[in-house]
Amino acid sequence: MKSYPKLIEATALNDYNLLLLFSNGEKKIFDFAPNLSHPFYEGLRDNALFRRVAVTNGEIEWATGQDYCPHTLYDKGVDYTE
């Protein structure tokens, strides 16, 4: 079984991208836009709501109940370098 670093921070960027920081120091960009066509996530098209993303117990979530798998964020995120 693959071991994943813990997600510790998420910041909403433009165009529904998320900047993610993991416990191993890696930063990744995840494009969340493709998910917005799914009925569960369509409310997050409201940019003000999307920007209120939070990390709780290693997972991203929004106050309206949407969440997303941190392992998918890690696997499909693109490495970010400053």
Q: Where are the domains of the chain?
A: 7-79
For the residues 14-42, what does the mean pLDDT come to?
97
The three-state secondary structure class of 18 is strand
- The pTM of this model reads 0.93
Measured distance CA(38)–CA(22) in Å, rounded = 26
Measured distance CA(14)–CA(26) in Å, rounded = 20
For the residues 3-31, what does the mean pLDDT come to?
97
- For 11, residues 6+ apart whose C-beta sits below 8 A from its C-beta are 18, 19, 53
Q: Does domain 7-79 have CATH number 3.30.2020.10?
A: yes
What pLDDT digit, counting tens, does each position of 43-70 carry? 999 999 999 999 999 999 999 999 999 9
Amino acid 21: pLDDT: 98
